[in-house]
Structure 1
Amino acid sequence: MNAPSSRIAIVDGHPLFVEGLTQKIVATGEMEVVFTAADSDRGLRLALEHQPEIVLINMEISGRGAFTLADELARRLPIARIVFLSDDPTDVFLDEALRLNAAGVLLTNDPTDRLMACLRTICHGGVAFSADVMERLEYQPDTKKYVVKVADYLASLTGRQTTVLRHLVRGDSVKEVSKTMSLSERAIESHKYRIMRRLGIHDRVELARYAIREGLALP
């Protein structure tokens, strides 16, 4: 039997889902799971150690956040292709995933055969999206990239700003966000100011209501 050809990592905090997905990937005989991690900090450390070809990252991952992790991997482990997992991504999350040149966005509730088909496509150098995600995208021939059909103005936020916003909405203090994201308190304050200015919001209560309405609140 030929050895698995593609090395995959899973960074996701849902153990039952990770266990099931790992079993299905291994059962294909075409791919292997080199590690799993329940948070983004451990995910980064193990990715640099094991150097997987494909990293599956849940958009809801704890720690520094999915997009910050993806950005760091792009800089420090450029061989890795990033695939985001989500149960129902908002437009702003899809937009950020595409801006990070994700190889795919897959829904965690997709049928197993569909997930495996998408992973095979990605393993062979292609891009793949769940059917419900694809309906919200359009392909631009001039740039040869997919974009969100109707991206709201939350999409103007950077991935790091989105992560800061989600932590603030959860009720984390600037000091707590600073520690979680390994950034200075001054940097977090700066991000908070820019987020509120960009969204035209003037206080934290209004910011929280807006983020919850847009589906950006952390669980």
Structure 2
Amino acid sequence: MRANTIRILLADSQQMFLDGLVAMFSKDPNWQVVATSTDSSKAFFQIVEQVPDIIIMDVELAGRGAFTVAEEVASRFPATKIVFLTGFESDVLVEQALRLDVAGYLLKSDSFTQLVANLRAILQGEKRYSERVFDRLEFDSTQQEFQVKSTTYLSGLTSRQLEVLRHLVRGESVKEVAKAMMLSERAIESHKYRIMQKLGIHDRVELTRFAIREGLTIP
């Protein structure tokens, strides 16, 4: 392995997509995939063990949730670059990624050549977004940062609450969400109550419809 090899961890719900990325990166000795995972909880333990230079993961992952993992990684391993590579491009997800100050939000529709070019720029300290994502942003000169042009009703939720909501609207029970996110059932119930209170919603059917309408999940 070269001394300047970039160590990558890949996390995506689709094993075939992961296999494709591993094959593409393996053609260039400058990149080394140190671990792959289809589950965010497993990915977090791999991150702690490997401490990669770059984490490339989808926003849609089983387990604790990609945003929760990203938040914890940013706190524990600030030198590690976090890049979301996904097919989801709704405002609420992009806004959450910006809030977490990740290094990039890229789309799977981009070419591998574009992905590599963006990763190289990210390693130089730049922030990178796919063109369709960038079109959703505007630069706030006061805050000196990019923001989503259109705020959503979900903007007031925390990263943890968004992850809980995404689990709930998939039809998972409180017990199942607690197990997946490695939290107590009491904590999930508390998050569920606060989410509904913030959104002014009173039942899970309405909550699911709302989440789909806001682009948090797909039908």
- Specify if TM > 0.5: yes
Where 1:35 maps in the other structure, the secondary structure is strand
Which amino acid in the other structure matches residue 71 of structure 2? D
Aligned residue for 1:156? 156
| Structure 2 runs not aligned, ≥5 long | none
Which amino acid in the other structure matches residue 130 of structure 1? S
* 8 A Cα contact 2:92 2:215, kept in partner: no
Please give the alpha-carbon distance, in whole angstroms, between the structure 2 residues aligned to 1:218 and 1:165. 13
Aligned residue for 2:197? 197
Alignment of 1:9-88 (within 5 A): 9-88=9-88
* 8 A Cα contact 2:91 2:215, kept in partner: no
Aligned residue for 1:128? 128
Please give the alpha-carbon distance, in whole angstroms, between the structure 2 residues aligned to 1:63 and 1:172. 12
How many pairs does the alignment contain? 219
Aligned residue for 2:174? 174
- List per-residue Cα deviations over 1:18-45 (Å, max 9, x = no partner): 1222232333433221111111111111
- List per-residue Cα deviations over 1:35-59 (Å, max 9, x = no partner): 1111111111111111101111110
Which amino acid in the other structure matches residue 19 of structure 2? E
- List per-residue Cα deviations over 1:60-92 (Å, max 9, x = no partner): 011000001111111222221111121022111
TM-score, normalising length from structure 2?
0.93
Aligned residue for 1:109? 109
Percentage of identical aligned residues: 49
Structure-2 change in CA distance of 1:173 and 1:122 (3 Å): same
Aligned residue for 1:209? 209
Which moves more between the two structures, 56-65 or 195-204? 195-204
TM-score, normalising length from structure 1?
0.93
Structure-2 change in CA distance of 1:144 and 1:84 (3 Å): same
Per the TM alignment, residue 12 of structure 1 is displaced from its structure 2 partner at its CA by: 1.0
| Structure 1 runs not aligned, ≥5 long | none
Per the TM alignment, residue 102 of structure 1 is displaced from its structure 2 partner at its CA by: 0.5
Where 1:164 maps in the other structure, the secondary structure is helix
Please give the alpha-carbon distance, in whole angstroms, between the structure 1 residues aligned to 2:18 and 2:51. 19
* 8 A Cα contact 2:67 2:159, kept in partner: yes
- List per-residue Cα deviations over 1:124-169 (Å, max 9, x = no partner): 2211111111111112233332111112121211111111111111
Please give the alpha-carbon distance, in whole angstroms, between the structure 2 residues aligned to 1:2 and 1:48. 22
